[in-house]
Amino acid sequence: MRTSTSMARAALALALTVLVLSAVCSFPGASCTKVSYDDRALVIDGERRIILSGSIHYPRSTPEMWPDLIQKAKDGGLNTIETYVFWNGHEPRPREYNFAGNYDIMRFFSEVQKAGMYAILRIGPYICGEWNYGGLPAWLRDIPDMQFRLHNQPFEHEMETFTKLIVNKMKDANMFAGQGGPIILAQIENEYGNIQSGLPDQQSATKYIHWCAEMANNQNVGVPWIMCQQSNDLPPNVLETCNGFYCHNFKPKENMPKIWTENWTGWFKAWDKPDYHRPAEDLAYSVAMFFQNRGSVQNYYMYHGGTNFGRTTGGPYITTSYDYDAPLDEYGNIRQPKYGHLKQLHAMLTSMEKHLVYGQQNETSFDDKVKATKYTLDDGSSACFISNSHDNEDLNVTFEGSTYQVPAWSVSVLPDCKTVAYNTAKVKTQTSVMVKKESAVTQGLKWFWLPELLKPFCTDRSGSFRRNELLEQIVTGADKSDYLWYKTSLTSGAEEEFTLYVNTTGHELYAFVNGELAGYKHSMNGPYIFQFQAPATMRAGKNYISLLSATVGLKNYGASFELMPAGIVGGPVKLVRPDSSAIDLSHSTWTYETGLYGESIQIHLDKPDLEWSCHPVVPVNRPFSWYKALFHAPDGEDAVVVDLAGLNKGVVYVNGRNLGRYWPSYIAGNMDGCHRCDYRGAYKTWDNQEKCLTGCHEIGQQFYHVPRSFLNAGGLNTIVLFEEAGGDPTKVNFRTVVVGSVCINAEKGDSITLACANGGTISSIEVTSFGVAKGQCGSYEGGYESKPAMEALSAACLGKESCTVHYTDELDSAGSEGSGGVLTVQATC
């Protein structure tokens, strides 16, 4: 056993404060907040504070959702909201700005302030975030001598211009803490240290990151600036922070507090991947370990993930859903047990705040993976943690004369250093199984259709411009559309059979020969380079070859990620004869045109002059078709989704709002992680060490969020589909997302609390058993039924929105001893 003292007394630590950012109120009567820091914590108005924060990205929800999301975060025990700033959403074209709708960032921060919470502003303006192009506008590529994220005048000028724009808007709205606003931290750049060594010019990289810090500090925002993942080349006057699944071993520079900007609550989803789930026990373990080891600022990435509306997904090949297995699901519903389990931990940490940031820290190590940590105040009161980081061994730990049973991969929290009030491995909140309930009001939709006009694009007579080369798609089309046409022609003396060969960096390719679709192919999720081949008949005379290249989200991460090409850049494009001789068309005259005709006339807005058809029948499985149907919104307040199983690939709109890309024909692959799940041991999403996956061999994404604010509650609504590859719209239907089964495991002395949502009531109690043998919530089997528990829960819960029953001796039955006294309850809302 080893004992060590890791810090001097609190007064001495406070004296080591290296930066005090005092701010003067910008208007009379304002409630100013002073933010500084020392080596223990942020210091807010002279008091060290722990920060429990959660990421909610304003463009991934709607303004109507923001108050509810923020309030649920506060009710879950958070005191801070964090968000990125989305440059390409705010400045889609040079000096044309968008701060309306779900890009109204000032309104978002106002909602945070109304809720009485702090805020962290992560400007970037490179953000990664699985967002299209990492948040950087594609039009930057049009500027001469532009080099992304290196020391050069063109990039730094644009970056500074946008940073000043955001800072000034925040100042004008009095959003910084020194103005009486909620913002207590601001971030410049993002995860640069992760990719810095891979950049082509290391001297330029160092100059750039130091320029970033200087430029940021020159904005005089009155709060500290942070940089995440920047430990190897940290500029002066910024705080370094950690991102990852675990950050308890992160050691910041001297005199800096320990800040965790991204605790990954789950993981993003790609079209070809199953769904990632990070167990609540492991997430809670990571948080408790962080605060046990002197952490003071912790942010969940994500607390609410939301939806990648429109063309905002990055990747490539990231889905429209950005659920992230967060404590609040994509639609804003509470995800149990993750939300409730963390809420209980937050309550413990908040009750221990003074001890954690002012207390003297002492550690007692039992082995290299088991330790107790004690924080003691001058008044003699203490708060303790006992952690067991073995991933397969429960232990009895004797500490200060008492013995505690600590499960593997868990942390016990003892607010008084005597009684275990919380253990990260013991989940004592309900599990809610969410179901997609069919809506009767949207059954039997009547569909109309329009063909996408292709004929003008199947010759080279018209276009935006011509070149004798095959150009890169992102630069050529400025990312205004997923689609770019490459069109050429050639004259043949006689009819001849060829194989059309195209080498492309994709992500998709449709080939038309003389106006007829010759074939289609998309790349796998990986290098995004593939070869397309299809039979092609050249008739005597003039022939036209039209190649439609499509992207599915632009790369958002990596060293020089912006230079990863898209489209048929360089080719080659060839017509190959049966004897392998070929006609190389790569340097023919190519005509270019961005986008589709239907996009240009905005079919999705369903303008009155459009002539939709429904006679004699609406064709199905027809590529390049637009479909429309009218529907009534489902009743109630439950979240609404549209089920697009049966379609292939395209875009879905409701009342003119772009819900995002759909691709239900893409089936998620099989991964070993779908067949194992144990919260014990480090959670990873790489190196074939994934676990707790669901959805293998299922549709990558079947359901698409339709925010209630997009719907006309009392009238008709319009859904418009652009079906790119050929699907069946008659299978489309709308559903509501509701709580189905609710379950809880309880030990004697616990309170058994069950709850439905949005006015739903408990309709049945199915299981009140000890020693449940198998299954999961909604399908438990086995065990010894407790009739007293069944009677008590039925009396207290049936017909109620929520209920609480205390687990006392009266609920015991003959089977309780063999089960360890754990009672499993399952009910249906």
Neighbours of 617 (CB within 10 A): 10
Structure tokens at 724: 């790119």
List the catalytic residue out of 130, 158, 191, 353: 191
User: Which neighbouring-strand residues pair with 43?
Assistant: 36, 48
What 3 state SS string does 563-602 have?
HCCCCCCCCCEEEECCCCCEEECCCCCEEEEECCHHHHCC
Q: How far apart are CA 569 and CA 503, in angstroms?
A: 9
Structure tokens at 467: 């070149």
Q: How far apart are CA 825 and CA 764, in angstroms?
A: 11
Contact (CB, 8 A) for 567 and 473: yes
- Residue 7: in which H helix or E strand, if any? none
Contact (CB, 8 A) for 258 and 249: no
Q: How far apart are CA 364 and CA 722, in angstroms?
A: 63
What 3 state SS string does 105-141 have?
HHHHHHHHHHCCCEEEEEEECCCCCCEHHHHCCHHHH
List the catalytic residue out of 240, 262, 472, 593: 262
Which residue type sits at 397? V
**Burial (Cβ within 10 Å: 0-12, 13-18, ≥19) of residue 193:** middle
Contact (CB, 8 A) for 183 and 173: no
CA triple 775-776-779, angle to 5 deg: 70
Q: Alpha-carbon Rg of the chain, whole angstroms?
A: 29
Q: How far apart are CA 687 and CA 666, in angstroms?
A: 23
What 3 state SS string does 341-377 have?
HHHHHHHHHHHCHHHHHHCEEEEEEEECCEEEEEEEC
Any catalytic annotation for residue 96? no
Task: Select from 785, 312, 370, 804 the least CA-distant residue to 553.
Answer: 312
Contact (CB, 8 A) for 726 and 352: no
**Bridge-based pairing state of the strands 650-654 and 657-662:** antiparallel
Return the biggest CA–CA distance within the chain: 98
Structure tokens at 60: 């991934």
Contact (CB, 8 A) for 342 and 287: yes
Q: Is 633 helix (H, G, I), strand (E, B) or coil?
A: coil
- Residue 194: in which H helix or E strand, if any? helix 192-195
Half-sphere exposure of 237 (CA within 13 A, CB side): 15
Any catalytic annotation for residue 262? yes
Structure tokens at 772: 């449940």
- Residue 488: in which H helix or E strand, if any? strand 483-492
Report cis status (omega within 30 of 0) of the bond before 28: no
Place of tokens 């730990």: 397
Place of tokens 């859904």: 719
Catalytic residues, by residue number, are 191, 262
